[in-house]
Structure 1
Amino acid sequence: MSYYGSLFKIFFSMEDHLFRIRKAEKIHNLWKTTLLIVLLSLLVYGWMSYLGMGSDLISRNAASMSAIQYEITKAGFIIGRLLYALLLSAFVLFVPSLLFHLLTNIPYKKLLVMQQAVLLVMLVERLTWIPLMLLSGLDWYVSPFSFGIIASYFTDNAWLIFFFGAISLFQLWIMWFQVKFLSTMAAISKKWLWANVFILHILYWCMAALFSYSDTFILSGWFE
Protein backbone atom coordinates (compact mmCIF):
# COMPACT_ATOMS: atom_id res chain seq x y z
CA MET A 1 0.00 0.00 0.00
CA SER A 2 1.24 3.49 -0.88
CA TYR A 3 0.53 6.83 0.76
CA TYR A 4 0.76 10.10 -1.15
CA GLY A 5 1.92 12.83 1.16
CA SER A 6 0.29 16.24 1.30
CA LEU A 7 0.66 19.20 3.64
CA PHE A 8 -3.02 19.55 4.41
CA LYS A 9 -4.98 16.37 3.89
CA ILE A 10 -3.78 14.69 7.09
CA PHE A 11 -5.86 17.27 9.02
CA PHE A 12 -9.01 16.02 7.33
CA SER A 13 -10.30 12.54 8.20
CA MET A 14 -7.28 12.13 10.45
CA GLU A 15 -8.14 8.62 11.59
CA ASP A 16 -8.34 7.42 7.99
CA HIS A 17 -5.06 9.04 7.01
CA LEU A 18 -3.22 7.72 10.07
CA PHE A 19 -4.48 4.22 9.29
CA ARG A 20 -3.28 4.54 5.69
CA ILE A 21 0.14 5.83 6.80
CA ARG A 22 0.49 2.91 9.22
CA LYS A 23 -0.32 0.41 6.45
CA ALA A 24 1.77 2.17 3.79
CA GLU A 25 4.83 0.38 2.50
CA LYS A 26 5.91 3.40 0.50
CA ILE A 27 5.47 7.16 1.05
CA HIS A 28 5.23 9.25 -2.13
CA ASN A 29 5.84 13.01 -2.49
CA LEU A 30 7.75 13.02 0.81
CA TRP A 31 10.67 15.20 -0.27
CA LYS A 32 8.52 17.42 -2.47
CA THR A 33 6.28 18.12 0.51
CA THR A 34 9.34 18.66 2.73
CA LEU A 35 10.69 21.25 0.30
CA LEU A 36 7.30 22.97 0.16
CA ILE A 37 6.98 23.27 3.94
CA VAL A 38 10.53 24.66 4.17
CA LEU A 39 9.69 27.26 1.51
CA LEU A 40 6.54 28.15 3.45
CA SER A 41 8.70 28.63 6.56
CA LEU A 42 10.97 31.02 4.68
CA LEU A 43 7.94 32.90 3.34
CA VAL A 44 6.31 33.29 6.78
CA TYR A 45 9.51 34.37 8.54
CA GLY A 46 10.48 36.61 5.63
CA TRP A 47 7.10 38.34 5.84
CA MET A 48 7.33 38.72 9.62
CA SER A 49 10.81 40.24 9.41
CA TYR A 50 9.78 42.53 6.53
CA LEU A 51 6.99 43.84 8.77
CA GLY A 52 9.66 44.55 11.39
CA MET A 53 8.58 41.96 13.95
CA GLY A 54 11.46 41.36 16.34
CA SER A 55 13.46 44.38 15.13
CA ASP A 56 12.65 46.71 18.05
CA LEU A 57 16.28 47.29 19.00
CA ILE A 58 17.16 48.16 15.41
CA SER A 59 14.24 50.57 15.10
CA ARG A 60 15.19 52.35 18.33
CA ASN A 61 18.53 53.32 16.84
CA ALA A 62 17.23 54.23 13.39
CA ALA A 63 17.58 57.95 14.14
CA SER A 64 21.34 57.60 14.70
CA MET A 65 21.88 55.75 11.39
CA SER A 66 22.14 57.09 7.88
CA ALA A 67 19.52 55.90 5.38
CA ILE A 68 22.03 53.51 3.82
CA GLN A 69 23.13 52.11 7.20
CA TYR A 70 19.52 51.54 8.21
CA GLU A 71 18.64 49.72 4.98
CA ILE A 72 21.78 47.55 5.25
CA THR A 73 20.93 46.75 8.87
CA LYS A 74 17.32 45.94 7.95
CA ALA A 75 18.46 43.70 5.09
CA GLY A 76 20.86 41.92 7.43
CA PHE A 77 18.05 41.38 9.93
CA ILE A 78 15.80 39.88 7.23
CA ILE A 79 18.58 37.59 5.99
CA GLY A 80 19.26 36.48 9.56
CA ARG A 81 15.60 35.63 10.10
CA LEU A 82 15.51 33.66 6.85
CA LEU A 83 18.52 31.64 7.99
CA TYR A 84 16.80 31.11 11.32
CA ALA A 85 13.66 29.88 9.52
CA LEU A 86 15.76 27.45 7.50
CA LEU A 87 17.51 26.07 10.58
CA LEU A 88 14.28 25.90 12.59
CA SER A 89 12.38 24.03 9.87
CA ALA A 90 15.27 21.58 9.41
CA PHE A 91 15.44 21.01 13.18
CA VAL A 92 11.68 20.50 13.59
CA LEU A 93 11.47 18.14 10.62
CA PHE A 94 14.52 15.96 11.06
CA VAL A 95 15.65 15.91 14.70
CA PRO A 96 12.41 14.75 16.41
CA SER A 97 11.85 12.28 13.56
CA LEU A 98 15.25 10.74 14.24
CA LEU A 99 14.74 10.68 18.01
CA PHE A 100 11.32 9.03 17.75
CA HIS A 101 12.68 6.56 15.20
CA LEU A 102 15.39 5.52 17.66
CA LEU A 103 12.88 5.30 20.52
CA THR A 104 10.05 3.49 18.72
CA ASN A 105 11.58 1.93 15.60
CA ILE A 106 8.76 3.46 13.54
CA PRO A 107 10.00 4.06 9.95
CA TYR A 108 11.74 7.41 9.66
CA LYS A 109 9.78 8.54 6.60
CA LYS A 110 6.47 8.06 8.40
CA LEU A 111 7.74 10.15 11.29
CA LEU A 112 8.79 12.82 8.82
CA VAL A 113 5.15 13.03 7.67
CA MET A 114 4.19 13.64 11.31
CA GLN A 115 6.73 16.42 11.68
CA GLN A 116 5.59 18.07 8.45
CA ALA A 117 2.15 18.46 10.04
CA VAL A 118 3.79 19.72 13.25
CA LEU A 119 5.78 22.38 11.39
CA LEU A 120 2.69 23.49 9.48
CA VAL A 121 0.81 24.05 12.76
CA MET A 122 3.80 25.99 14.10
CA LEU A 123 3.68 28.24 11.04
CA VAL A 124 -0.04 28.82 11.55
CA GLU A 125 0.79 29.86 15.12
CA ARG A 126 3.35 32.35 13.81
CA LEU A 127 0.76 33.79 11.44
CA THR A 128 -1.46 34.55 14.45
CA TRP A 129 1.39 36.63 15.88
CA ILE A 130 1.22 39.06 12.95
CA PRO A 131 -2.20 40.64 13.66
CA LEU A 132 -1.50 40.52 17.40
CA MET A 133 1.65 42.59 16.85
CA LEU A 134 0.27 44.95 14.22
CA LEU A 135 -3.12 45.56 15.83
CA SER A 136 -2.40 45.17 19.55
CA GLY A 137 1.39 45.52 19.84
CA LEU A 138 1.67 42.13 21.56
CA ASP A 139 4.89 40.16 21.24
CA TRP A 140 4.73 36.41 20.63
CA TYR A 141 5.50 35.51 24.24
CA VAL A 142 2.41 37.37 25.52
CA SER A 143 0.05 36.00 22.89
CA PRO A 144 -3.42 35.22 24.29
CA PHE A 145 -2.87 31.69 22.95
CA SER A 146 0.16 31.19 25.21
CA PHE A 147 0.87 31.04 28.94
CA GLY A 148 3.39 33.88 28.77
CA ILE A 149 0.78 36.54 29.40
CA ILE A 150 -0.22 34.74 32.63
CA ALA A 151 3.42 34.33 33.67
CA SER A 152 4.02 38.07 33.18
CA TYR A 153 1.54 38.78 36.00
CA PHE A 154 3.55 36.66 38.45
CA THR A 155 7.16 37.37 37.51
CA ASP A 156 9.41 39.93 35.84
CA ASN A 157 11.98 37.27 34.98
CA ALA A 158 12.37 37.52 31.20
CA TRP A 159 13.51 33.91 30.75
CA LEU A 160 10.48 32.54 32.59
CA ILE A 161 8.13 34.73 30.56
CA PHE A 162 9.76 33.52 27.34
CA PHE A 163 9.55 29.91 28.56
CA PHE A 164 5.85 30.05 29.37
CA GLY A 165 5.28 32.13 26.25
CA ALA A 166 6.59 29.19 24.23
CA ILE A 167 3.86 26.99 25.77
CA SER A 168 0.72 27.67 23.77
CA LEU A 169 -2.54 26.02 22.78
CA PHE A 170 -0.88 25.22 19.46
CA GLN A 171 1.99 23.46 21.24
CA LEU A 172 -0.42 21.45 23.39
CA TRP A 173 -2.28 20.36 20.24
CA ILE A 174 1.04 19.33 18.68
CA MET A 175 1.85 17.17 21.71
CA TRP A 176 -1.56 15.49 21.48
CA PHE A 177 -1.13 14.93 17.74
CA GLN A 178 2.34 13.41 18.14
CA VAL A 179 1.13 10.97 20.79
CA LYS A 180 -1.87 10.03 18.64
CA PHE A 181 0.31 9.55 15.56
CA LEU A 182 2.94 7.49 17.37
CA SER A 183 0.41 5.30 19.17
CA THR A 184 -1.32 4.61 15.84
CA MET A 185 1.93 3.64 14.13
CA ALA A 186 3.03 1.19 16.85
CA ALA A 187 1.63 -0.62 19.90
CA ILE A 188 3.34 1.51 22.55
CA SER A 189 2.15 2.60 25.97
CA LYS A 190 0.56 6.05 25.76
CA LYS A 191 1.97 6.94 29.18
CA TRP A 192 5.48 6.23 27.90
CA LEU A 193 4.78 8.25 24.74
CA TRP A 194 3.37 11.19 26.69
CA ALA A 195 6.44 11.21 28.96
CA ASN A 196 8.87 11.27 26.04
CA VAL A 197 6.89 13.81 24.02
CA PHE A 198 6.61 16.03 27.09
CA ILE A 199 10.37 15.85 27.76
CA LEU A 200 11.10 16.72 24.13
CA HIS A 201 8.83 19.76 24.30
CA ILE A 202 10.29 20.87 27.64
CA LEU A 203 13.68 20.95 25.93
CA TYR A 204 12.23 22.86 22.98
CA TRP A 205 10.57 25.44 25.26
CA CYS A 206 13.82 25.86 27.19
CA MET A 207 15.76 26.40 23.95
CA ALA A 208 13.15 28.86 22.64
CA ALA A 209 13.35 30.83 25.90
CA LEU A 210 17.16 30.75 25.90
CA PHE A 211 17.44 31.95 22.30
CA SER A 212 14.91 34.72 22.87
CA TYR A 213 16.62 35.77 26.09
CA SER A 214 20.10 35.81 24.55
CA ASP A 215 18.82 37.42 21.33
CA THR A 216 18.04 40.57 23.32
CA PHE A 217 21.67 40.92 24.43
CA ILE A 218 23.11 39.96 21.03
CA LEU A 219 21.01 42.53 19.15
CA SER A 220 21.71 45.06 21.86
CA GLY A 221 25.44 44.53 21.42
CA TRP A 222 25.25 44.89 17.66
CA PHE A 223 22.91 47.81 17.29
CA GLU A 224 23.11 49.94 20.40
Structure 2
Amino acid sequence: MSYHTNVIKLLFSTDDHLFRIGKAEKIHKLWKATGLLVLLSILIYCWMAYLGIGSNYISTNATEMNALTYEQSKFWFLVGRALFSVLFAMLVLFIPSLLFYLLTDIPFKKLMIMQQVVLFVLLIERLLWIPLATVNGLDWYVSPLSLGIIASYITDKSWIIFFFGAITLFQFWIIGFQVKYLTTLSQAIRKVWIWVNVIFLHLIYWVITALLAFIDTYILSGWFG
Protein backbone atom coordinates (compact mmCIF):
# COMPACT_ATOMS: atom_id res chain seq x y z
CA MET A 1 0.00 0.00 0.00
CA SER A 2 1.25 3.50 -0.86
CA TYR A 3 0.57 6.79 0.90
CA HIS A 4 0.77 10.18 -0.77
CA THR A 5 1.76 12.86 1.73
CA ASN A 6 -0.89 15.53 2.21
CA VAL A 7 -0.46 17.65 5.32
CA ILE A 8 -3.81 19.45 5.12
CA LYS A 9 -5.87 16.27 4.62
CA LEU A 10 -4.03 14.58 7.50
CA LEU A 11 -4.72 17.60 9.69
CA PHE A 12 -8.48 17.51 9.07
CA SER A 13 -9.02 13.77 8.63
CA THR A 14 -6.56 12.38 11.13
CA ASP A 15 -7.99 8.96 11.97
CA ASP A 16 -8.45 7.88 8.35
CA HIS A 17 -4.98 9.01 7.35
CA LEU A 18 -3.32 7.45 10.41
CA PHE A 19 -4.79 4.09 9.39
CA ARG A 20 -3.47 4.51 5.85
CA ILE A 21 -0.04 5.66 7.05
CA GLY A 22 0.20 2.68 9.39
CA LYS A 23 -0.53 0.27 6.52
CA ALA A 24 1.62 2.07 3.94
CA GLU A 25 4.74 0.35 2.63
CA LYS A 26 5.77 3.27 0.42
CA ILE A 27 5.57 7.02 1.09
CA HIS A 28 5.25 9.37 -1.87
CA LYS A 29 5.75 13.16 -2.16
CA LEU A 30 7.43 13.34 1.25
CA TRP A 31 10.33 15.52 0.14
CA LYS A 32 8.13 17.68 -2.08
CA ALA A 33 5.94 18.46 0.93
CA THR A 34 9.05 19.11 3.01
CA GLY A 35 10.38 21.58 0.43
CA LEU A 36 7.05 23.41 0.25
CA LEU A 37 6.89 23.72 4.03
CA VAL A 38 10.43 25.11 4.21
CA LEU A 39 9.54 27.62 1.47
CA LEU A 40 6.39 28.60 3.36
CA SER A 41 8.46 29.08 6.51
CA ILE A 42 10.85 31.40 4.65
CA LEU A 43 7.99 33.44 3.18
CA ILE A 44 6.24 33.87 6.55
CA TYR A 45 9.39 34.87 8.42
CA CYS A 46 10.48 37.24 5.67
CA TRP A 47 7.04 38.84 5.69
CA MET A 48 7.24 39.26 9.45
CA ALA A 49 10.70 40.80 9.09
CA TYR A 50 9.47 43.13 6.32
CA LEU A 51 6.69 44.32 8.64
CA GLY A 52 9.30 44.99 11.30
CA ILE A 53 8.13 42.31 13.72
CA GLY A 54 11.01 41.48 16.04
CA SER A 55 13.13 44.45 14.95
CA ASN A 56 12.47 46.54 18.05
CA TYR A 57 16.14 47.14 18.70
CA ILE A 58 16.78 48.46 15.19
CA SER A 59 13.72 50.73 15.28
CA THR A 60 14.61 52.09 18.73
CA ASN A 61 18.10 53.03 17.60
CA ALA A 62 17.11 54.28 14.13
CA THR A 63 17.74 57.92 15.07
CA GLU A 64 21.36 57.09 15.90
CA MET A 65 22.02 55.58 12.46
CA ASN A 66 22.55 57.30 9.14
CA ALA A 67 20.27 56.32 6.24
CA LEU A 68 22.72 53.81 4.73
CA THR A 69 23.42 52.07 8.04
CA TYR A 70 19.72 51.86 8.81
CA GLU A 71 18.89 50.27 5.42
CA GLN A 72 21.80 47.85 5.81
CA SER A 73 20.50 46.89 9.25
CA LYS A 74 17.05 46.16 7.86
CA PHE A 75 18.55 44.12 5.01
CA TRP A 76 20.68 41.96 7.30
CA PHE A 77 17.77 41.56 9.69
CA LEU A 78 15.69 40.21 6.79
CA VAL A 79 18.52 37.86 5.73
CA GLY A 80 18.92 36.70 9.33
CA ARG A 81 15.22 35.92 9.67
CA ALA A 82 15.24 34.01 6.36
CA LEU A 83 18.15 31.87 7.54
CA PHE A 84 16.49 31.38 10.91
CA SER A 85 13.29 30.22 9.19
CA VAL A 86 15.19 27.48 7.35
CA LEU A 87 16.94 26.40 10.57
CA PHE A 88 13.61 26.47 12.44
CA ALA A 89 11.91 24.30 9.81
CA MET A 90 14.78 21.80 9.69
CA LEU A 91 14.89 21.45 13.47
CA VAL A 92 11.13 20.92 13.74
CA LEU A 93 11.10 18.37 10.93
CA PHE A 94 14.21 16.33 11.61
CA ILE A 95 15.18 16.42 15.31
CA PRO A 96 11.91 15.05 16.80
CA SER A 97 11.65 12.56 13.91
CA LEU A 98 15.13 11.24 14.70
CA LEU A 99 14.49 11.05 18.44
CA PHE A 100 11.20 9.19 18.05
CA TYR A 101 12.78 6.93 15.42
CA LEU A 102 15.29 5.84 18.08
CA LEU A 103 12.55 5.37 20.71
CA THR A 104 9.87 3.60 18.66
CA ASP A 105 9.49 1.08 15.86
CA ILE A 106 8.02 3.69 13.48
CA PRO A 107 9.90 4.26 10.18
CA PHE A 108 11.65 7.63 9.88
CA LYS A 109 9.61 8.77 6.87
CA LYS A 110 6.35 8.20 8.71
CA LEU A 111 7.65 10.27 11.61
CA MET A 112 8.56 13.01 9.13
CA ILE A 113 4.90 13.12 8.08
CA MET A 114 3.94 13.73 11.72
CA GLN A 115 6.43 16.58 12.01
CA GLN A 116 5.23 18.12 8.77
CA VAL A 117 1.83 18.59 10.39
CA VAL A 118 3.54 20.03 13.49
CA LEU A 119 5.50 22.52 11.39
CA PHE A 120 2.40 23.52 9.44
CA VAL A 121 0.49 24.23 12.68
CA LEU A 122 3.42 26.23 14.08
CA LEU A 123 3.49 28.33 10.92
CA ILE A 124 -0.23 29.00 11.26
CA GLU A 125 0.50 30.19 14.79
CA ARG A 126 3.13 32.57 13.47
CA LEU A 127 0.67 33.95 10.94
CA LEU A 128 -1.64 34.77 13.85
CA TRP A 129 1.21 36.66 15.52
CA ILE A 130 1.20 39.16 12.65
CA PRO A 131 -2.13 40.91 13.39
CA LEU A 132 -1.44 40.66 17.12
CA ALA A 133 1.85 42.51 16.60
CA THR A 134 0.84 44.99 13.89
CA VAL A 135 -2.68 45.83 15.07
CA ASN A 136 -2.54 45.26 18.82
CA GLY A 137 1.17 45.82 19.38
CA LEU A 138 1.58 42.54 21.27
CA ASP A 139 4.83 40.57 21.30
CA TRP A 140 4.62 36.81 20.75
CA TYR A 141 5.30 36.04 24.41
CA VAL A 142 2.22 37.95 25.60
CA SER A 143 -0.12 36.56 22.96
CA PRO A 144 -3.63 35.83 24.30
CA LEU A 145 -3.09 32.31 22.96
CA SER A 146 -0.17 31.70 25.35
CA LEU A 147 0.44 31.48 29.10
CA GLY A 148 2.89 34.38 28.85
CA ILE A 149 0.18 36.98 29.27
CA ILE A 150 -0.76 35.37 32.62
CA ALA A 151 2.89 35.15 33.67
CA SER A 152 3.37 38.87 32.90
CA TYR A 153 0.77 39.71 35.58
CA ILE A 154 2.53 37.52 38.15
CA THR A 155 6.19 38.46 37.57
CA ASP A 156 8.34 40.96 35.71
CA LYS A 157 11.21 38.49 35.18
CA SER A 158 11.55 38.36 31.41
CA TRP A 159 12.91 34.81 31.16
CA ILE A 160 9.90 33.45 33.06
CA ILE A 161 7.52 35.37 30.78
CA PHE A 162 9.38 34.08 27.72
CA PHE A 163 9.15 30.49 29.00
CA PHE A 164 5.41 30.61 29.61
CA GLY A 165 4.93 32.65 26.45
CA ALA A 166 6.28 29.67 24.49
CA ILE A 167 3.49 27.50 25.95
CA THR A 168 0.47 28.11 23.74
CA LEU A 169 -2.84 26.50 22.86
CA PHE A 170 -1.18 25.36 19.64
CA GLN A 171 1.51 23.59 21.68
CA PHE A 172 -1.13 21.72 23.67
CA TRP A 173 -2.80 20.61 20.42
CA ILE A 174 0.55 19.50 19.00
CA ILE A 175 1.33 17.43 22.10
CA GLY A 176 -2.04 15.67 21.82
CA PHE A 177 -1.55 15.09 18.08
CA GLN A 178 1.94 13.65 18.50
CA VAL A 179 0.84 11.29 21.28
CA LYS A 180 -2.11 10.08 19.19
CA TYR A 181 0.09 9.63 16.11
CA LEU A 182 2.81 7.73 17.99
CA THR A 183 0.48 5.49 19.98
CA THR A 184 -1.46 4.60 16.83
CA LEU A 185 1.61 3.64 14.81
CA SER A 186 3.88 2.19 17.49
CA GLN A 187 3.65 -1.10 19.36
CA ALA A 188 7.12 -0.91 20.88
CA ILE A 189 6.57 1.61 23.67
CA ARG A 190 3.86 2.08 26.30
CA LYS A 191 1.52 5.06 26.00
CA VAL A 192 2.63 6.53 29.32
CA TRP A 193 6.22 6.70 28.09
CA ILE A 194 5.12 8.32 24.86
CA TRP A 195 3.42 11.02 26.93
CA VAL A 196 6.56 11.46 29.04
CA ASN A 197 8.87 11.71 26.03
CA VAL A 198 6.62 14.07 24.07
CA ILE A 199 6.14 16.43 27.03
CA PHE A 200 9.87 16.30 27.86
CA LEU A 201 10.73 17.20 24.25
CA HIS A 202 8.38 20.20 24.38
CA LEU A 203 9.79 21.23 27.75
CA ILE A 204 13.24 21.41 26.17
CA TYR A 205 11.76 23.44 23.29
CA TRP A 206 10.17 25.92 25.73
CA VAL A 207 13.43 26.30 27.66
CA ILE A 208 15.45 26.89 24.48
CA THR A 209 12.86 29.37 23.17
CA ALA A 210 12.99 31.32 26.44
CA LEU A 211 16.79 31.31 26.39
CA LEU A 212 17.00 32.52 22.78
CA ALA A 213 14.43 35.25 23.46
CA PHE A 214 16.32 36.31 26.58
CA ILE A 215 19.63 36.75 24.74
CA ASP A 216 18.06 38.06 21.51
CA THR A 217 18.53 41.69 22.51
CA TYR A 218 22.23 41.11 23.11
CA ILE A 219 22.61 39.33 19.76
CA LEU A 220 20.91 42.20 17.91
CA SER A 221 23.02 44.66 19.84
CA GLY A 222 26.14 42.87 18.70
CA TRP A 223 25.01 42.79 15.07
CA PHE A 224 23.64 46.27 14.75
CA GLY A 225 25.20 48.20 17.63
Q: TM-score, normalised by structure 1?
A: 0.98
Residue 216 of structure 1 corresponds to which residue in structure 2?
217
Structure 1 distance, partners of 2:222, 2:153, is 29
Counterpart mapping for 1:33-182 below 5 A? 33-182=33-182
Q: Contact 1:141 / 1:162 at 8 angstroms: preserved in 2?
A: yes
Segments of structure 2 that go 5 or more residues without pairing to the other structure are none
Residue 200 of structure 1 corresponds to which residue in structure 2?
201
For residue 7 of structure 1, report the CA deviation from its aligned partner.
2.4
Deviations 1:4-62, CA, capped at 9 Å, x for gaps: 00121101221000000000000000000000000000001010000000000100111
Structure 2 distance, partners of 1:60, 1:13, is 46
SS in structure 2 of the partner of residue 3 of structure 1: strand
One-letter amino acid matched to 1:121 = V
SS in structure 1 of the partner of residue 7 of structure 2: coil
Structure 2 distance, partners of 1:153, 1:27, is 48
Segments of structure 1 that go 5 or more residues without pairing to the other structure are none
For residue 194 of structure 1, report the CA deviation from its aligned partner.
0.6
Moved more, 165-174 or 184-193: 184-193
Structure 2 distance, partners of 1:57, 1:178, is 36
SS in structure 1 of the partner of residue 41 of structure 2: helix
For residue 222 of structure 1, report the CA deviation from its aligned partner.
3.5
One-letter amino acid matched to 1:137 = G
Residue 3 of structure 1 corresponds to which residue in structure 2?
3
Moved more, 20-29 or 179-188: 179-188
Deviations 1:80-105, CA, capped at 9 Å, x for gaps: 01111010100000010000000002
Structure 1 distance, partners of 2:33, 2:175, is 22
Q: Provide runs of 4+ in structure 1 moved above 4 Å.
A: none
For residue 189 of structure 1, report the CA deviation from its aligned partner.
2.1
Structure 1 distance, partners of 2:152, 2:12, is 36
For residue 121 of structure 1, report the CA deviation from its aligned partner.
0.2
One-letter amino acid matched to 1:193 = I
Residue 190 of structure 1 corresponds to which residue in structure 2?
191
For residue 174 of structure 1, report the CA deviation from its aligned partner.
0.3
Q: Contact 1:61 / 1:223 at 8 angstroms: preserved in 2?
A: no
Q: Contact 1:7 / 1:37 at 8 angstroms: preserved in 2?
A: no
Moved more, 65-74 or 107-116: 65-74
Count of residues in correspondence between the two structures: 224
One-letter amino acid matched to 1:82 = A
Q: TM-score, normalised by structure 2?
A: 0.97
Q: Contact 1:148 / 1:165 at 8 angstroms: preserved in 2?
A: yes
Structure 2 distance, partners of 1:223, 1:96, is 33
Give percent identity, aligned residues only. Answer: 61
SS in structure 2 of the partner of residue 207 of structure 1: helix
